[in-house]
Amino acid sequence: MKLKLLLLVSFIVLFSSCKKDIQKLIDCNEKSLYKLTTFNVGVAVSYDKIINNERYKEIVKSQFNSITPEYAMKAEFIHPEENVFNWDEADQLVDFSIKENKSFHGHALIWHNHLPHWMENYTADWNIMFRNHIIALVSRYKGKIKAWDVVNEAFEDDGSLRNTIWKQHIGEHYITLAFQYASQADPDALLFYNDYNLESKPRKMEAVLKMAKELKSLGIQIHGIGMQMHVSFEYPTDRQIQNAIKSFEQTNLKVHISELDVVVNSNTKVEDPTFHLMKEQKKKVKIIVEAFNKLPSENKYGISIWGVSDADTWVRKEFGRKEWPLLYDENYSIKPSYCGFVEGLE
Ligand code: XIL
């Protein structure tokens, strides 16, 4: 009995000292991230949470000047039947962005994931269906949404074109067509191609840059590239990330670090965040922000974080494990990584 008590007490002491140590890594005050810089600092949001969680809403308003809908504009949600659009949540988010004077980053028009059944099993003219989807979304928010992710994740890590239903039914030129249709629907919108692993897979990066060059040479508008930046504290290396970001210096493309999160528990499988992991995460966030900040100002579109707090991260649901990849903890207090972001700007 005594032994059990002793064990329990030492566990509690150890746990609370660990928590205290992590607090020591928070060596900055919570300020307003977007006010510290001239490029966009954005966040992925859900309207539900804005409505139901005051603190969440407060953070979105005070820290960020750009929002990306985390789910509301994905085809399966916004376009559930061929002639049915579910505009409600997207409309409310767009209205919120206008009222609060935030930019809105539309995401994502053409993707192979999260498609409604009717689209996947379409039997009539794919080209018309594809065009209608793009035009419907872009024209509805013309003048209200400044930028769109037009095509998402079209390349494989080896640089080949992913064999999506879009490629199968429309052909390899579907990317070109998507940008063409989006720009017809809103000639003033900034149009982005968005993908992951661009920092770790040079072939993928090359393929994306080549595609952008080709579109430009055809006179088709493409303004920027979104590097999703779902990374871990260990990988890719700092050097890989720095080089990948730097490679945009040679282009006239805008860069959007579009879905930043830094996972820490993919190999470790700990039950709670540790001092070491939070320290490393803070360092990684700093490296990324610093590398981005060094780009010439013409290349800097912005950095968006993929969720407000660790309680909101997609990683927990998607990979079914404990994770703490964001800048705020579950209680919506700033983490060491928040200070890493601030330091990266200094
Ligand atoms: C994810 C969202 O975070 C989830 O809530 C949703 O269920 C699925 O999509 N790459 C992307 C994002 O471009 O749209 C994905 O977002 C994460 C991976």
Break the chain into its structural domains and give their ranges: 33-345
User: DSSP secondary-structure letter at 40?
Assistant: E
Residue 250: band (very low, low, confident or very high) from pLDDT cuts 50, 70, 90: confident
Exposure of 149 in the CB half-sphere (CA atoms within 13 A): 30
For the stretch 60-83, pLDDT in tens is 999 999 999 999 999 999 999 999
For the stretch 252-288, pLDDT in tens is 999 999 999 999 999 989 999 999 999 999 999 999 9
Across 136-144, average pLDDT: 98
- How big is the chain, counted in residues? 346
Distance, in Å, from the CA atom of 154 to the CA atom of 177, rounded to the nearest integer, reads 13
211 CA from centroid of ligand 1 (Å): 23
For residues 143 and 190, the answer to whether their CB atoms sit within 8 Å is no
Amino acid in position 247: S
43 CA from centroid of ligand 1 (Å): 13
Q: Is 153 tagged catalytic?
A: yes
Across 95-112, average pLDDT: 98
Q: What distances in angstroms separate CA 45 from CA 136, 193, 283, 286, one per listed residue?
A: 22, 20, 25, 23
Looking from the CA of residue 258, the nearest atom of ligand 1 is 13
> For a substitution probing ligand 1, which of 46, 164, 259 has the most ligand atoms within 8 Å of its CB?
259
Distance, in Å, from the CA atom of 287 to the CA atom of 113, rounded to the nearest integer, reads 30
Q: Is 199 tagged catalytic?
A: no
Q: What distances in angstroms separate CA 164 from CA 77, 172, 324, one per listed residue?
A: 19, 10, 32
- Selecting among 70, 199, 259, 280, the annotated active-site residue is 259
Distance, in Å, from the CA atom of 45 to the CA atom of 72, rounded to the nearest integer, reads 9
pLDDT at 13: 47
Orientation of helix 174-185 relative to helix 126-140, angle to 10° = 40
pTM of the model: 0.95
With a Cβ cut-off of 6 Å, ligand 1 is lined by 70-71, 108, 114, 152, 228, 259, 314
Terminal Cα-to-Cα distance of the chain (whole angstroms): 54
Give the rounded percent of residues in the chain with a pLDDT score beyond 90.
93
Tokens coding 224: 């920027």
Residue 17: band (very low, low, confident or very high) from pLDDT cuts 50, 70, 90: low
Q: What distances in angstroms separate CA 235 from CA 16, 199, 211, 241, 242, one per listed residue?
A: 29, 10, 26, 9, 12
User: Does position 12 have pLDDT exceeding 90, yes or no?
Assistant: no
User: Does position 4 have pLDDT exceeding 90, yes or no?
Assistant: no
Across 163-190, average pLDDT: 98
Across 316-329, average pLDDT: 97
Q: Which residues of 89-120 are buried (b: 16+ CB within 10 A; e: fewer)?
A: bbeebbebbeeeebbbbbbbbbbbeebbebbe
Query: Please, where are the H alpha helices in the chain?
Result: 2-24, 47-52, 54-63, 75-78, 88-99, 117-120, 126-140, 165-170, 174-185, 202-217, 238-246, 275-293, 314-319, 336-345
Query: Residues 78-85: contacts with CB within 8 Å, 24+ apart?
Result: 78/137, 79/116, 79/119, 79/133, 79/136, 79/137, 80/116, 80/118, 81/116, 81/118, 82/118, 82/129, 85/136
Distance, in Å, from the CA atom of 44 to the CA atom of 59, rounded to the nearest integer, reads 12
Helix (DSSP H) and strand (DSSP E) numbers for the chain: 14, 9
pLDDT at 20: 72
pLDDT at 7: 58
Please state which CATH number belongs to domain 33-345: 3.20.20.80
Helix, strand, coil shares of the chain, percent, nearest 5, are 50, 15, 35
Looking from the CA of residue 111, the nearest atom of ligand 1 is 13
Looking from the CA of residue 74, the nearest atom of ligand 1 is 14
Taking all residues of the chain, what is their mean pLDDT, rounded to a whole number?
A: 95
Orientation of helix 202-217 relative to helix 174-185, angle to 10° = 50
pLDDT at 3: 60
Tokens coding 190: 């900034």
